[in-house]
C-alpha cells in the first residue's frame, strides 16, 4: 500500500524523570474520494507505544495497534502509552481525495401528527436537495420509500443515499394532534459526529404519576446486553435542580445487531391528561459491540451517577491514568491524574447541574460514560 507522507507533529518532546522521548507523530493517508472510507493512520514506531486507543466521532473505533484502517474523512484522536512511561493524546485529520460530491446534499421531512396518543395514523414524507439521482431511502423501521404511513407517537429516522454513495439523515417526531403543545421532546447525541449504524424500535410507557411540567432533561443512563438479542436500557428523567423524578428500565430487541451506534426512543405519556404536557419523547443513542463503551464501562469501571459535589469512580483493580470531565460538546472542563488507585474522587462543587461525559484512561485503555450532575 502506498502511503501519503502526511505528518502531523503534535507534541514536541515528552519527559519522565531524566528520560526524553522522541517526538510523537501521526502519519495519515487520505481517502480515495469524499464518499470512501479507506483512509489510514499510524503512529511513528520510534515512540515505542505499549498501548493505543483510536477514537473518532466521540466513540472508540479500535483498541491497540500502531495502525488503524478504513477511516472516513474527519478528525480523530489516538491515546498512546509509551513503553518507557508517559502517554500522549494526538489529534489528526483524514482528508478526502477530490472535490466533495456530497456537498449540498441535504434531507428534510414533513409530517402529519397522529390523531391521539393511542392512534397510529401519523405520516411522514422525505424530500432531498442536491446530490445525484437516483436516490434510495431507508427508514429506521425498514421502509424504503420516501413516504411512510401508519406511524404511532415517537421519533423516526430517515436516511437518503444518492448515486455517488453520499448519505444524509434526518429525524421526524410524530406527536399527538389532539392536544396543543402537549409533547415535550429531548434529543440527545452522546457520540457527536458518530455514524449511526441503525435505529432500534421505539417503545412507550404510560405514567400518569409523573409531573410532566417539571422534567428538564431525559436520557439513557445505563445499558446492558442480555443474552444475544436484547438490550436492557435505563432511562432517567431529571428536573431543573438535578433531582431524578422518574426512572424506567426498558428492554429493546437487537436481533443480529452489528457493532456500532444505535438510536433509540422512549415515549412516556398519560392518556388521561387533557391539558399541558402529557407526552415526553426522548431520543438517545447507545453503542453496541465487544469494544463498545458501555461494555467496557460495565466490566472495568463503576461510577456513582447522578453525582453532586464530588464525582466518584471505582475500579476493581488499582491502576494509573487520568480522569477527565467533558461537556456535551466534548470540551474538557476538569482533569485529575491518578496513580495506583481504585477509588478516584473529583471535586465538582463548582460544576453546574446538567449532563456531562467522563473519560477514564489507564493502562487497559479508555472508557467514556455519560453522567448527570444534580
Give mean pLDDT, residues 180-192. 74
Whether 8 has a pLDDT exceeding 50, the answer reads: no
Q: What is the CATH T-level fold of the domain 101-178, as seen in this structure?
A: Immunoglobulin-like (2.60.40)
Question: How large a percentage of the chain has pLDDT more than 70?
Answer: 78
Question: Per-residue pLDDT for 266 more than 90?
Answer: yes
- Taking 70 as the threshold, does the pLDDT of residue 259 lie above it? yes
The pLDDT value given to residue 370: 73
* CATH code of the domain occupying 294-373: 2.60.40.3080
- Which stretch, 182-186, 191-195, 318-322, 360-364, has highest mean pLDDT? 182-186
Architecture in CATH for domain 6-94: Sandwich (2.60)
Residue-wise pLDDT tens digits, 40-96: 888 876 667 778 888 887 788 998 888 898 888 888 888 888 776 667 778 788 877
Q: Is the pLDDT reported for residue 162 higher than 80?
A: yes
Give the confidence band of 282 by pLDDT, cuts at 50, 70, 90: very high
- pLDDT bucket at 149, cuts 50 / 70 / 90: very high
Residue 3: pLDDT over 70 = no
What 3 state SS string does the chain have?
CCCCCEEEEEECCCEECCEECCCEEEEEECCCCCCCCCEEEEECHHHCEEEEEEEECCEEEEECCCEEEEECCEEEEEEEEECCCCEEEEEEEECCCCCCCCCCCEEEEEEECECCCCCCCEEEEEEEECCCCCCEEEECCCCCCCEEEEECCEEEEEEEECCCCCEEEEEEEECECCCCCCEEEEECCCCCCCCEEEECCCEEEECCCCCHHHEEEEEEEEEEEECCCEEEEEEEEEECCCCEEEEEEEEEECCCCCCEEEEEEEEEECCCCCCCCCEEEEEEEEEECCCCHHHHHHHHCEECCCECCEEEEEEEEEEEEEEEEECCCCCEEEEEEEEEEEEEEEECCCCCCEEEEEEEEECCEEEEEEEEEC
pLDDT top residue among 9 and 158: 158
Mean predicted lDDT score pLDDT of the chain? 77
pLDDT for residue 130 is more than 50 = yes
The pLDDT of residue 16 is: 33
pLDDT of residue 128: 87
Q: Range(s) for CATH 2.60.40.1080 in the chain? A: 101-178
Mean pLDDT confidence for 272-277: 68
Task: State the pLDDT at residue 169.
Answer: 82
The predicted structure's pLDDT at residue 99: 53
CATH 2.60.40.3080 residue ranges of the chain are 294-373
174 band by pLDDT with thresholds 50, 70 and 90: confident
Amino acid at each position: 500500500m502506498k502511503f501519503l507522507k502526511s505528518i502531523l507533529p503534535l507534541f514536541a518532546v515528552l519527559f519522565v524523570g531524566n528520560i526524553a522521548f522522541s517526538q510523537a507523530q501521526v502519519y495519515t493517508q487520505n481517502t480515495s474520494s469524499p464518499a470512501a472510507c479507506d483512509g489510514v493512520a499510524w503512529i511513528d514506531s520510534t515512540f515505542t507505544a505499549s498501548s493505543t486507543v483510536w477514537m473518532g466521532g466521540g466513540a472508540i473505533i479500535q483498541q491497540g495497534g500502531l495502525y488503524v484502517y478504513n477511516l472516513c474523512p474527519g478528525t480523530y484522536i489516538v491515546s498512546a502509552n509509551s513503553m518507557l512511561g508517559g502517554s500522549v493524546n494526538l489529534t489528526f485529520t483524514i482528508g478526502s481525495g477530490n472535490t466533495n460530491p456530497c456537498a449540498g446534499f441535504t434531507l428534510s421531512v414533513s409530517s402529519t401528527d397522529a390523531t391521539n396518543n393511542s392512534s397510529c395514523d401519523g405520516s411522514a414524507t422525505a424530500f432531498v436537495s442536491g446530490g445525484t439521482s437516483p436516490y434510495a431511502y431507508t427508514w429506521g423501521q425498514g421502509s424504503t420509500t420516501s413516504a411512510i404511513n401508519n406511524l404511532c407517537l415517537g421519533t423516526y429516522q430517515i436516511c437518503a443515499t444518492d448515486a455517488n454513495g453520499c448519505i444524509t439523515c434526518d429525524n421526524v417526531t410524530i406527536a399527538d394532534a389532539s392536544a396543543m403543545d402537549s409533547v415535550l421532546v429531548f434529543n440527545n447525541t452522546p457520540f457527536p459526529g458518530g455514524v449511526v449504524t441503525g435505529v432500534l424500535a421505539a417503545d412507550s410507557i404510560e405514567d400518569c404519576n409523573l409531573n410532566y411540567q417539571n422534567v428538564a432533561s431525559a436520557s439513557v443512563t445505563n445499558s446492558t446486553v442480555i443474552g444475544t438479542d436484547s438490550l436492557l436500557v435505563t432511562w432517567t428523567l431529571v428536573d431543573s435542580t438535578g433531582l431524578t423524578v422518574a426512572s424506567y428500565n426498558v428492554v429493546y430487541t437487537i436481533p443480529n445487531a452489528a457493532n456500532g451506534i444505535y438510536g433509540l426512543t422512549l415515549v412516556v405519556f398519560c392518556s388521561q391528561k387533557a391539558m399541558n404536557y402529557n407526552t415526553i419523547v426522548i431520543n438517545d443513542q447507545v453503542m453496541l459491540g465487544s469494544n463498545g463503551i458501555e461494555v467496557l464501562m460495565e466490566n472495568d469501571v463503576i461510577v456513582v451517577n447522578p453525582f453532586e459535589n464530588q464525582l466518584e469512580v471505582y475500579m476493581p483493580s488499582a491502576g494509573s491514568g487520568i480522569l477527565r470531565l467533558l461537556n456535551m460538546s466534548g470540551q474538557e472542563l476538569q482533569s485529575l491524574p491518578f496513580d495506583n488507585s481504585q477509588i478516584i474522587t473529583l471535586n465538582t462543587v463548582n460544576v453546574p447541574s446538567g449532563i456531562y461525559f467522563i473519560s477514564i484512561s489507564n493502562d487497559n485503555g479508555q472508557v467514556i460514560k455519560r453522567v448527570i450532575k444534580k
